[in-house]
Structure 1
Amino acid sequence: MVLKDILYKTAIEAVKGTTDVMVNAITFDSRTVSFGDAFVAIVGTQSNGHDYIEKAISLGAVAIVCETLPENEVEGVTYVRVKNSKEALAFMASNYYDTPSKNLKLVGVTGTNGKTTIASLLYQLFKNAGYKTGLLSTVKIMVGDTEYKATHTTPDSLTINKYLKEMTDVGVEYCFMEVSSHGIHQSRTAGLHFVGGIFTNLSHDHLDYHNSFAEYRDVKKRFFDELPTTAFALINGDDKNGMVMLQNTKAKKLTYALKTYADYKAQILENQLSGLLLKINEQEVWVKLIGTFNAYNLLAIYGAAVNLGLESQEVLRLMSELESVSGRFQFIVSENKVTAIVDYAHTPDALENVLKTIDAIRTRNEQLITVVGCGGNRDTTKRPIMAHVASSMSDKVIFTSDNPRNEVPETIIEDMEKGVEPQNYKKTIAVVDRKQAIKTACQLASPNDIILIAGKGHETYQEIKGIRNHFDDMETVTELLAQLNK
């Protein structure tokens, strides 16, 4: 493809050389450069792509897209200086793959909690409705029925467009995509054509990356600011930040809520371990999902599906068939009647929601044992808050490792313990090894007790000192409970 066509819509500040040069591929990783490629120099959090321009050229790059031109330029190489190389990469990726997002209906889901559930269940619903459907989520990437492993909540823009192109090639009509604050801030979604955006909620998260909660909120808002007039913007009206998302959007403004007036309103009629009975816009539906937080998720799904053209009664029928997402309030009941729940809750708000859900369905004749940790090299300010929530809403709490990454697990747990109030000290113990912590919970549990294992959900690994070791919470607790039943 010709470079000048790949550069369409990028904010170019200067060009040295010809843009009529043919380009084989685009890359922002100097290790993957081949002869005839365009290398985009990205300023990242860990490294600066500008430091690898010389290496890229030595490997055969014929074009360099960067924010700062190198001092030593190589003859025969085209240099393009842009205002923002991350944004340029996104537009270039879209152009290179023939703007695939224009050839399907792409819906983005953003917010602190609920993104994976909403995107995954919308994929499930539209697939069950008979449509070829795509999914870009934290858990997995689906191109029709073909599954790929996911590595980020929002992949880099080249990966996004590569999968979208694959989707259009096999006739996918709808795609549902998680849109993270990192993805928005790093312009990974620039150049994509969305037909709809969904806002779930906003709570304490990623303040290790964003300088403040206000910045975190405003980054989320940017996604809605950039939606076109032909799109819909569907927001949680019960979240105080919901209306902020709609302030400057050109899209059709829509709301969903349980507590306030909204376009899509629900009432919880029954809430039990077997599911929810909801009344949505005066129509009743029984669903297999559990808890108030899932009532919000289902409302968002209902509103999005109706706005994408499905008939409301058909949407309700399809909602009744939906199965829960891996690692999202996933539970088993052992032979001796111990209920173990695995959930991805890794923010204070998400953990509180899960504990409230359990509180609403428990009888009080059982004890609730919570196993929880916090990730290393991430937002440290939420650690004591997570511990405070867990210790004040559980009968027993076991603090343990999550993904300690390059931090000392004991230090993370010490940070958490600072949030435990004096009256709750005796409820808590620390067991650094996660498997041993889950085993301890199983040993402490009596028949009819509930064990919540929070933080990792669908993840099948534990990252310690840069190495990912196999670890699956559901697999582990299932095995341990079975052993204790023998």
Structure 2
Amino acid sequence: MCWSKFRKSFLGEKLRLFFPNWVVNVFKHFPLAFLAIVFFGYPARRLRIIGITGTDGKTTTSNLIHWILTSARRKTGLISTGVTKLGTKEIHTGLHVTSPEPWILQRLLRRFVKEGVKDVVLEATSQGLVQNRLWGCHFLIAAVTNVTHEHLDYHQSYQNYLQAKNRLFKRVKIAVLNKDDESYSFFQKEIQKTKAKLVTYGLKSKADFTPQSFPFKTKLLGEFNQYNCLAAAAVTSSLGINKGQIKKAIATFEGVKGRLEEVKAGQPFRVFIDFAHTPNALGNTLKALKSITPKGHFLIAVFGSAGGRDKSKRPLMGEQAAQYADLVVLTEDDPRNENVEEIIEQIAQGCLKAGAKEDKTLFRIPNRGQAMRVALKKLAQKDDIVVICGKGHQQVMYGKTEYPWNDFQVAQKIIKGRK
């Protein structure tokens, strides 16, 4: 067995079968992070690092911050879900995780330093923070988008999840918080214990950045993207970017691949691919699309829930889907070693609770390709909207084996087959 496979199998998840998380984090992850930092010469010390955390919205917010800084002619690095950028150039790293392992992360940071980058926007996941993957990255600014229902399989409780996110704020100079989010009071109290400057944003609360104090235009759909834009504005303004430049950049931002990405293949209805895989994100996405669905036409949602992950969110996702979508098609989404039908049943319980009717407004189709075919070839009619959620930008499906999968390409192929 080669070293990389041994590291991933035994030194990775299998260690957690024998030891609690904290033991693995302290005796495996921390030493690896320390060695990586020393080997690559402490690159973070020569960079201004902006950390973005939260359950949903991290990727859009991170990419938007990078866009604003790049538009202001600041050479900026980006390490985000599905994409790494050095200035305007995309770097193909093959990463499948949001917060990379220390060796990869520190190597990227050293490359940024060598290429003359000064600012780096880095997505910071709760697991990445707890596992010390980001150890040694001293953040100048840290921002939180929201903290909702996710990763409780790993953190065990919402409070532990909050504490994991809070690691990002321990040594920051500027903390940017969503004043409307239920996590605000927790983070606000924690930040008071530090010397960090607090900057707030929100749509409903009195905050430093609101649509009234900072009016802007955006191509992005949905209220949740209004929050993402305000978070990005708060961060970049704190970095000294002129508000006029920020507004101009927000207005020209096209969005992120796999986030409400529209498939245009000549079909008489609209199709979107989205990464929504939490109750909050799914509800926000469906709410945004429902608001633009023509009267008398249907919003059709196709989604599942990943196997080997937080099971408690599944019925909640079902409730959100039945509340906002007219037709719901439940299917697979990285089932791993779990039974797809059982996952679908757990989601369906939430759908039925919210009023969905089996085989009338709720359909169970385990095979994702077949589910998409039913939605796109049988259910969708002229001027309807179909949204395929869960995979977004991802290009791999994790079942009992790993195989290539791309929702966007599959949707295009099915639509072209209609003609």
**TM-score, length of structure 2 as denominator length:** 0.91
Is 1:132 aligned to residue 75 of structure 2? yes
Higher helix proportion (structure 1 or 2): 2
State the alpha-carbon separation in 1 of the partners of residues 242 and 58 from structure 2: 23
Distance change (3 Å), C-alpha of 1:48 and 1:259: closer
Q: Which residue of 1 aligns with 2:389?
A: 454
Unaligned stretches of 5+ residues in structure 1 = 1-28, 34-38, 52-66, 69-81, 267-278
On the 8 A contact 1:43/1:49 being kept in 2, the answer is no
Q: Which residue of 2 aligns with 1:202?
A: 147
Match 2:356 to one of 393, 408, 424: 424
3-state DSSP class of the match of 1:141?
strand
Q: Which residue of 1 aligns with 2:171?
A: 227
State the alpha-carbon separation in 2 of the partners of residues 152 and 323 from structure 1: 23
Q: Which residue of 2 aligns with 1:479?
A: 413
3-state DSSP class of the match of 1:247?
helix
State the alpha-carbon separation in 2 of the partners of residues 255 and 95 from structure 1: 36
> What's the CA shift string for 1:154-188, capped at 9, x where partnerless?
11122111100011011111111110010111111
Unaligned stretches of 5+ residues in structure 2 = none
Is 1:188 aligned to residue 133 of structure 2? yes
Q: Which residues of 2 match residues 231-310 of structure 1 at below 5 A?
A: 231-249=173-191, 250=194, 251-266=196-211, 281-282=213-214, 284-310=215-241
**TM-score, length of structure 1 as denominator length:** 0.79
Q: Which residue of 2 aligns with 1:5?
A: none
Which deviates further from its counterpart, 242-251 or 185-194? Answer: 242-251
3-state DSSP class of the match of 1:346?
coil
Deviation for aligned residue 1:129: 2.2
Deviation for aligned residue 1:383: 1.2
Q: Higher Cα Rg: structure 1 or 2?
A: 1
State the alpha-carbon separation in 2 of the partners of residues 256 and 264 from structure 1: 4
Q: Which has the higher contact order (CA 8 A, sep 6+)?
A: 2
Q: Which residue of 2 aligns with 1:10?
A: none
> What's the CA shift string for 1:380-419, capped at 9, x where partnerless?
1111111121122211111001111122211211222222
State the alpha-carbon separation in 1 of the partners of residues 136 and 18 from structure 2: 23
Match 1:47 to one of 15, 30, 36: 15
3-state DSSP class of the match of 2:153?
coil
Match 2:380 to one of 441, 445, 448: 445
3-state DSSP class of the match of 2:155?
coil
3-state DSSP class of the match of 2:135?
coil
Deviation for aligned residue 1:88: 3.5
On the 8 A contact 2:139/2:168 being kept in 1, the answer is no
On the 8 A contact 1:137/1:150 being kept in 2, the answer is no
Distance change (3 Å), C-alpha of 1:188 and 1:418: same
Deviation for aligned residue 1:30: 8.7
On the 8 A contact 1:293/1:353 being kept in 2, the answer is yes
Q: Which residue of 1 aligns with 2:288?
A: 357
Q: Which residue of 2 aligns with 1:150?
A: 95
Give the partner amino acid of 1:31: W
Deviation for aligned residue 1:124: 2.2
- State the identity as a percent: 32
State the alpha-carbon separation in 1 of the partners of residues 382 and 66 from structure 2: 37
Q: Which residues of 2 match residues 87-126 of structure 1 at below 5 A?
A: 87-126=30-69
Give the partner amino acid of 1:98: G
Q: CA RMSD in A?
A: 2.4
3-state DSSP class of the match of 1:481?
helix
Is 1:366 aligned to residue 334 of structure 2? no
Give the partner amino acid of 1:204: H
Deviation for aligned residue 1:49: 12
> What's the CA shift string for 1:307-334, capped at 9, x where partnerless?
1111111111111111110011111345
On the 8 A contact 2:67/2:249 being kept in 1, the answer is no
Deviation for aligned residue 1:44: 4.8
3-state DSSP class of the match of 2:383?
coil
3-state DSSP class of the match of 1:437?
helix
Q: Which residue of 2 aligns with 1:161?
A: 106
> What's the CA shift string for 1:218-245, capped at 9, x where partnerless?
1112221x124xx210011000112312
On the 8 A contact 2:77/2:86 being kept in 1, the answer is yes
Deviation for aligned residue 1:31: 1.9
> What's the CA shift string for 1:102-149, capped at 9, x where partnerless?
211110100100011111122222222222211111112223324122
Number of matched residues?
Answer: 404
3-state DSSP class of the match of 1:419?
helix
> What's the CA shift string for 1:179-226, capped at 9, x where partnerless?
0010111111121121110100011111111111111111112221x1
Give the partner amino acid of 1:424: A
Distance change (3 Å), C-alpha of 1:184 and 1:336: closer
Q: Which residue of 2 aligns with 1:375?
A: 306
3-state DSSP class of the match of 1:358?
helix
Deviation for aligned residue 1:32: 6.1
Q: Which residue of 2 aligns with 1:31?
A: 3
Please list every run of at least 4 consecutive aligned residues from structure 1 whose deviation after the TM superposition is greater than 4 angstroms.
48-51, 82-85
On the 8 A contact 1:375/1:401 being kept in 2, the answer is yes
3-state DSSP class of the match of 1:167?
helix
State the alpha-carbon separation in 2 of the partners of residues 410 and 360 from structure 1: 31
Deviation for aligned residue 1:292: 0.5
